[in-house]
Amino acid sequence: MTQKPVAEMSFEEALKELEQVVGQLERGEVPLEESISLYERGAALKDRCEAKLTEAEEKVAKLTLDGDGQPTGTAPLDAG
The model's pTM is 0.72
Q: State yes or no: pLDDT of 69 exceeds 80.
A: no
| Domain of residue 44, residue span | 6-76
Q: Is residue 52 part of a domain?
A: yes
Q: Is residue 57 part of a domain?
A: yes
Looking at every residue in the chain, the average pLDDT score rounds to 85
- Degrees to nearest 5, angle at CA 25 with 20 and 19: 20
Q: Which CATH number belongs to the domain containing residue 52 in this structure?
A: 1.10.287
Q: Is residue 60 part of a domain?
A: yes
The pLDDT of residue 56? 82
Q: Is residue 17 part of a domain?
A: yes
**Please, which pLDDT band fits residue 65 given cuts at 50, 70 and 90?**
low
Q: State yes or no: pLDDT of 78 exceeds 80.
A: no
Ranking 5-14, 47-56, 68-77 by mean pLDDT, the lowest is 68-77
Calpha distance 35→27 (Å, rounded): 11
Q: Is residue 1 part of a domain?
A: no
Q: How many domains are there within the chain?
A: 1
